[in-house]
Amino acid sequence: VFDGITRFDISLSYSGAQNVEARGYAGPVVVCAARYTPIAGHRPDSASTRYMSENQDIHVWLAPLPETHVVVPIHIDIGTAAGELAIDASEFTLGQKTR
């Protein structure tokens, strides 16, 4: 990932599966553990960079899009030094297929 200033990798590994109900989506999700690896543009001596690169408390829930081989994140939780950060999709809608 390049955000215009920094470059980092996010690697995912399978943690399990469950069924969820969210606004606009109900069904199975794959739960993945995520790891953050800073690549460039970071201060290597920064406590926050070091904390996040060692953080093993990052999880992503991925929901499959029907009739595709694509998954989308509907929930992310990240343990931080200040507490847990939760990011939830506020809406999940699918548009019409176009040619």
Nearest Cα residue to 39 out of 9, 11, 5: 9
Domain ranges of the chain: 7-88
Confidence (pTM): 0.81
* 23 pLDDT higher than 80: no
- Would you state the pLDDT for residue 62? 96
* 38 pLDDT higher than 90: yes
Tokens standing for residue 30: 């794959």
Burial class (CB in 10 A: 0-12, 13-18, 19+), 84: exposed
Tokens standing for residue 39: 């690549």
Give residue-wise pLDDT tens across range 49-97: 899 999 999 999 999 988 888 999 999 999 998 999 999 988 877 777 6
Q: Which amino acid belongs to residue 65?
A: L
pLDDT band at 44, cuts 50/70/90? confident
- Rounded to whole angstroms, the Cα distance separating 91 from 74 reads 9
